Structure 1
Amino acid sequence: MTEPITYLFVPGDRPDRFGKALTSGADRIIIDLEDSVLADHKMAARDAIAAAALDWQNVIVRINPVDTVHFEFDMSLLRSVPVRMVMLPKTESSDMISRVNRSLDKKCAMLPQIETVKSLFALQDILHADRVDRVAFGHLDFALDLGSSTDKDSLLYARSQIVHHSRYAEKPAPIDSVTAEFRDTDTVSAEAKAAKNLGFGGKLIIHPAQDLPVKKGFAPSPADIAWAKSVVQIIEKGGSGALAADGSMIDKPVEIRARHIIERAGKIS
């Protein structure tokens, strides 16, 4: 089973958007209590989440950082709803994750965001923390912390490290950060494809219009699908072992890649 690809943010103080987000086609929605909600709106946002009829299987709640005055109020909310996954912004250590785990009276999957240089250098500690599912990159806050540009070349090292560390920790491929230009679907799709080529497995989105362009970017190309089908067909006809096809060798890694392409193509279609 493949992991979710698109994760759609919706502000916690906009309950009128919850239902629309859940029917947008996005694989998961993230109801946000952090950056998109003003401080004096956070209590109303918590009340809105508590009162909403939500499909909690597909809902993630992004809480406020553990070192803020809002954290304990967020924990009180999460103890009152059947949340299954929590997004932790600005996660810089496994201790931060442990604090969330201790504050909850249930087992929830954790989705830490890598948003600072300290986060980057604590990746193995974070990835091996209890209940961590996978990690997500937050490039805007990361660039702010680093003092760099937000363009892809400036953040290539950070993105690559997140992918490599996730693989080393045997976690699902990480989730790439948002694309701010949500009306430019070509840019959205191109950035999704670039993330896929680096080894990311999904992407955060800020508008329902980004869902299909992101999935298009993560989808295998027609040429890749045709290649994968031909590889599987040859293997199924010829049995196990290394086989020659179109001048190339087919061994186990090639077979696994081919089957993964077919699986991903089926999910996205």
Structure 2
Amino acid sequence: MGIQQPLTYLFVPGNRPERFAKALASGADRVILDLEDAVAPADKAKARDAIASWVTSLAASELDRLLVRINDLTSPHHADDLLWLQRTNIKHAMLSKCELAEQVAGVLAHMQPGASVLPLIETVRGVLAAVAIAQARQVDRLAFGALDYLLDLDLPGPGFALDSAALTIAMAARAANLPPPVAGVTPELDAGQVQSDLSHARALGYGAKMCIHPTQVAVVREAFRPDAPTHAWAQRVVTQWQQSNGAGVIQVDGKMVDKPVLLRAERILALAGPSQSL
């Protein structure tokens, strides 16, 4: 069924080291140590030092779950972030306001071999360059910063223009054979709003979500989980397909099932998790 991609990405301010270990223990698939919006300019250096000190104590499996969000190319802190990356064993970086594939290469040049970059697309320029960014070397996924995009295009709120940008990024990711992109944060902690935002993002082709609080992690993970009837249907499809000995087309619940339907059923079982899958 393939490797299940991360579903939840939890932000933690880089200048709050007392929260780092808690974030790793929160159940989030990935933890984003933030050097950008969550950290005041006067605290950037302190945040870098705190992260660099903490990651030296981590096991390889824990280090692989971490990303560091660095400041964008226009920021006066970007160059310092890159120099700092050279001196750490950080394996994954998130690049704020990525607008060119060349910017990805610029970050990788300051990281260890085998490192990866997750471009955060937050501007009109970034959306227009999404196809090239998705095809850049060592990009493992795209993410959409919807709140910053609203500001960049001076939009009054969500609507067609925001959805169009989100869909463009999702199509760029698919064309580059990347996993579905990561949806932006929900500022509200209300579980209903988080679920609603995720449902909307999934309808636009997104397969993960950024979180700003540990309580959102469980909400997002549960929202991805298929309901009981859908899960049972997927189990029937996969089981009967396996029993058909490669028939090509079978019937399940009175409906025809071919390879695309089987693939959808396998994805549903993967989202259900190991405790519920076949």
If the length of structure 1 is used for normalisation, what is the TM-score? Answer: 0.95
User: Structure 1 stretch 3-12 or stretch 159-168: which is displaced more?
Assistant: 159-168
In structure 2, the partner of 1:188 is 194
Q: Does 1:266 align with 2:268?
A: no
| Correspondent of 2:46 among 19, 32, 44 | 44
Deviation for aligned residue 1:261: 0.8
- Say how many residue pairs are matched: 268
Give SS of 1:82's match: coil
CA displacement at 1:152 relative to structure 2: 5.0
- Residue number in structure 2 paired with 1:19: 21
Q: In the aligned structure 2, how far is the partner of 1:268 from the partner of 1:81?
A: 37
Q: Kindly state the Cα deviation for residue 5 of structure 1 after the two structures are TM-superposed.
A: 0.5
Letter in 1 for 2:179: P
Aligned-pair distance for 1:168? 1.1
In structure 2, the partner of 1:34 is: 36
The separation in 1 between residues aligned to 2:275 and 2:242, in whole angstroms, is 24
With the length of structure 2 as denominator, give the TM-score of the two structures. 0.92
**Unaligned 5+ runs, structure 1:** none
Q: Please give the per-residue CA displacement for 1:14-41, whole angstroms capped at 9, x wherever unaligned.
A: 1111011111111110000011100000
Q: Look up the match of 2:220.
A: 214
Tell me the amino acid that sits aligned with residue 41 of structure 1. Answer: D
- Specify which of 130, 134, 137 is matched with residue 144 of structure 2: 137
Hey, what does 1:252 align to over in structure 2? 259
% of aligned pairs identical?
40
Pair 1:267–1:211, CA change in 2 (3 A):
farther
**Does residue 1:90 correspond to 2:92, yes or no?**
no
Deviations 1:212-265 (A, max 9, x none): 111122222222111101111221222221012222111111111111111111
Q: Which amino acid in 2 is paired with 1:233?
A: T
Match of 2:158 among 151, 160, 185: 151
For the 8 Å contact 1:9–1:204, the answer to whether it is kept is yes
Superposed CA RMSD: 1.5
Q: Is 66-75 or 247-256 further displaced after alignment?
A: 66-75
Q: 1:268 to 1:125 in 2, by over 3 A?
A: farther
User: Could you tell me how far 1:154 is from its partner in structure 2?
Assistant: 4.5
In 2, the alpha carbon distance for the partners of 1:152 and 1:236 equals 43
Contact 2:13/2:33 (8 A) holds in 1 = yes
Q: Which residue of 1 aligns with 2:128?
A: 121
Q: Deviations over 1:60-111 (max 9, x none)?
A: 0001112322122112222222111100000000111111122334331110
The letter for the 2-side match of 1:64 is N
Quote the residue 2:7 is aligned against: 5
Q: CA 1:267–1:172 in 2, change beyond 3 Å: closer, same or farther?
A: farther
How far is the alpha carbon of 1:185 from its aligned partner? 0.8
Equivalent residue, structure 2, for 1:233: 239
Q: Which amino acid in the other structure matches residue 164 of structure 2?
A: Y
Shift, 1:197, TM fit: 2.8
CA distance in 1 between counterparts of 2:157 and 2:220 reads: 19
Distance 2:159 2:69 in 1: 25
Distance 1:214 1:71 in 2: 31
Q: Which runs of 4+ in 1 moved over 6 A?
A: none
> Aligned partners of 1:230 and 1:105: how far apart in 2?
45
